[in-house]
Amino acid sequence: MSSRRKFIQQSAALAGGVLAAAALDPWVHAANHIPSLDYSAIPEMDEDDFWAWVRLCYTTSSNIINLNNGGVSPQPKQVQDVHIKYYQWCNEAPTYYMWRSLDEGREPLRRKLAKFCGTDPEEISINRNATEALNTIIFGLDLKEGDEVVVGKYDYPNMRNAWKQREKRDKIALKWVELNMPTTDDKYIYETYAAAITPKTKIVYLTHLINWTGQIIPVSVMKKIADLAHKNGAEVIVDGAHTLAHTVYEIPELGCDYYGTSLHKWMCAPFGSGLMYVKKDKIKKVWALLSNDQPDGDNIRKFESLGTRSFAAEMAIGSAIDFHNAIGSERKEKRLFALKKYWTDQVKNLPGVVFYSPLEKNYSCGIANLGIQGMKGSEIEAALFKNRKVHTVAIEYEKVNGIRVTPNVYTSFEDLDELVAGIKELIK
């Protein structure tokens, strides 16, 4: 207990010192200029103490149990404080603090993100979310009538709609792939995509984690599909919105040419923050979505001509990375899987319960989708909130009819006990 008290006191004191220093130099916080808190006490803390401390770092509701972190996650107070401080500075003299001060922090932040992703900084563009990143790629590639694009039926709606728009505008040919989920069959996943790839295929679009269910395509399978696509002269785009800072991997391991993600999900960065990865030798062939003086140039920064945006939110990303690294990617992934396993183990054998997600490691992590025979997902969601104030999200799409349950690192086992009790009440 004393180690935890010492750790919290040190963290609070150092955080205060950082904020005081920042008052003198508004961009001292930017990216890797944020002084690290003293996490030396972490090894002395047992798991219960550690996760209790993590929970205290968030300002989540004490009245609502939020199990819909898959949509967007809250930020630790450390990140909120940095964001608010930047926002206040910007309001003192917007054009000075935004354009002449905080803007200088983008390159250190780019390097910090690249280090986390395992890429070259010159391959990372900082933007607002996965939708913006992936739309930039989808609409920026030169595709002509008849070019084939392999797309998944369970890909995210904004991305499916982007491809449909290109189909309508440019007469490209979409080849739809449907995975029967849940699955833990690597061969089946690979062969399903392989069967859709032909000599006419120009793009293979892959979603690393299916948002509806939590189904993960393992990194090794993603790489194998990407290798096959490249062998046939196609390129690969990956939607990594739900896996970055959720599961452990680096972008190059996927074998993709292009990648987009949101940082306000599992990285717990400010709302409206994301990144795009474009392999260095591919940058020139992707047209900038928004106007730039060199829209077909080879500089990754051509994708950042966004006009006025929230510099405060952007620069606070660095603090979110610091917090994630303090937990550790492996430790975080292990915790998220443990939370999922805790509640699913208690209900998976109850009568009428259906899981649309695999529960096995490597094919799922923190997300699971549960259905109850005879009930719509929307009915389950409404009842859990009414009876237990447990907030989930209903998924009624294609063959999926249930609720998506998404805890995060601040979620306690006691929170999940409420979920389990609520599910048992519905079954009775």
Tokens of 1: 């207990």
Q: How far apart are CA 57 and CA 372, in angstroms?
A: 35
Per-residue pLDDT of the chain (428 residues; tens, 9 = 90+): 444 444 444 444 434 333 333 433 444 433 333 334 445 556 568 899 999 999 999 999 999 999 999 999 999 999 999 999 999 999 999 999 898 888 889 999 999 999 999 999 999 999 999 999 999 999 999 999 999 999 999 999 999 999 999 999 999 999 999 999 999 999 999 999 999 999 999 999 999 999 999 999 999 999 999 999 999 999 999 999 999 999 999 999 999 999 999 999 999 999 999 999 999 999 999 999 998 899 999 999 999 998 888 999 999 999 999 999 999 999 999 999 999 999 999 999 999 999 999 999 999 999 999 999 999 999 999 999 999 999 999 999 999 999 999 999 999 999 999 999 999 999 98
* pLDDT in the model for residue 276: 98
97 shares its domain with 179: no
Instruction: Return the closest-CA partner of residue 339 out of 415, 267, 390.
Output: 415
Domain annotation covers residue 324 = no
- The dihedrals phi and psi of 214, each to the nearest 5 degrees, come to 90, 0
172 shares its domain with 159: yes
- Based on the structure, what is the number of domains in the chain? 3
Instruction: Return the closest-CA partner of residue 191 out of 152, 237, 149, 225.
Output: 225
191 shares its domain with 298: yes
What range defines the domain where residue 59 resides?
Answer: 2-64+72-103
CATH number of the domain where residue 295 is located? 3.40.640.10
Q: How many CB atoms lie under 10 A from the CB of residue 379?
A: 15
Domain annotation covers residue 200 = yes
190 shares its domain with 264: yes
Task: Give yes or no for a contact between 150 and 204, defined as CB atoms under 8 angstroms apart.
Answer: yes
- Residue 24: helix, strand or coil by DSSP? helix
Tokens of 142: 């030169």
Angle between helices 186-194 and 219-231 (to 10 degrees): 20
248 shares its domain with 124: yes
Angle between helices 317-327 and 329-347 (to 10 degrees): 70
Question: Within 13 Å of residue 101, how many CA atoms lie on the same side as its CB?
Answer: 21
Q: How many CB atoms lie under 10 A from the CB of residue 68?
A: 19
Any residues with CB less than 8 A from the CB of 115 and at least 6 apart, and which? Answer: none
pTM over 0.85: yes
Any residues with CB less than 8 A from the CB of 78 and at least 6 apart, and which? Answer: 15, 37, 57, 319, 322, 323
Q: How far apart are CA 13 and CA 184, in angstroms?
A: 47
- The one-letter amino acid at 61: S
